[in-house]
Amino acid sequence: MSEESQIFARLREEGYKLTPQRYEIIKIIMSKGRSHPSLNSLYSLIKERMPTVSFSTLYGTVMKLVELGFLKVFDLNGETRIEVNTSPHINLVHLSSGEVIDISEPEIVESLRKSLGLGKKDFLVNILIYD
SS3 89: strand
- Nearest alpha-carbon partner for 89 in 117, 128, 62, 122: 122
Its pTM stands at 0.82
Mean pLDDT of all residues in 41-59: 95
Domain range annotation of the chain:
3-83, 89-129
Mean pLDDT of all residues in 72-82: 89
In words, the CATH class of domain 89-129 is: alpha beta
34 pLDDT tier (thresholds 50, 70, 90): confident
| CATH dotted code for 3-83 | 1.10.10.10
- Angstrom distances, CA of residue 59 to CA of 80, 82, 129: 10, 11, 28
What average pLDDT does the structure give for the chain? Answer: 87
The DSSP output letter for 38 is B
